[in-house]
């Protein structure tokens, strides 16, 4: 019966984790978009208007989803493998192995993350959402069913 629960944990953590992570990334993008819209709201008409010099132009920020081609490729497969590894580490009683998983993933992506702030933000949000999902599933299975 334990083997069945381990298989269920791996399927739920690895399979359902992708839609959960995508939902979190979409939520983060919508919050970021809402904050930008609030910052761009015009001043109310009842306040006095002053002629101030235009602030220096900032370089446009790329939205989280508009990453250059080839940046963070393979993320879906890496995410599934990451969730499976986190689940196995927790079910196997070796949560310290999660530090190795994070280190390997970060070192493998370092060059891409250094070049693109949008990719870096997406990487952090996606990794945290993915790992929290896997850790939550594995912990629930281990505590309540194994």
Task: Report helix angle 2-15 to 17-39, nearest 10.
Answer: 30
* Closest to 14 (Cα-Cα) out of 75, 86, 103, 119: 86
Instruction: Say if residue 14's pLDDT is above 60.
Output: yes
Question: Looking at residue 63, what is its pLDDT?
Answer: 53
CB–CB of 97/124 below 8 Å? no
Question: Looking at residue 59, what is its pLDDT?
Answer: 55
What does the pLDDT average to over 70-84? 83
* 99-122 b/e (C-beta count within 10 Å ≥ 16 → b): eebeeebeeebeebbeebebbebb
pTM: 0.74
The domain segmentation of the chain, as residue ranges, is: 1-35+78-145
Q: What percent of the chain has pLDDT over 90?
A: 51
* Closest to 140 (Cα-Cα) out of 24, 17, 12, 3: 12
């Amino acid at each position: 019966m334990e083997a069945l629960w381990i298989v269920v944990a791996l399927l739920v953590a690895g399979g359902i984790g992708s839609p959960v992570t995508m939902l979190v990334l979409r939520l983060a993008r919508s919050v970021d978009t809402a904050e930008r819209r609030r910052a761009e709201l015009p001043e109310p008409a009842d306040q006095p208007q002053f002629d101030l010099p235009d602030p220096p132009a900032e370089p446009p920020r790329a939205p989280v989803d508009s990453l250059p081609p080839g940046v963070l490729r393979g993320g879906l497969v890496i995410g599934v493998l990451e969730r499976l590894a986190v689940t196995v580490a927790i079910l196997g009683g070796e949560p310290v192995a999660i530090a190795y998983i994070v280190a390997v993933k970060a070192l493998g992506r370092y060059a891409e993350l250094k070049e693109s702030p949008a990719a870096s933000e997406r990487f952090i949000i996606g990794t945290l959402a993915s790992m929290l999902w896997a850790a939550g599933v594995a912990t629930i299975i281990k505590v309540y069913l194994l």
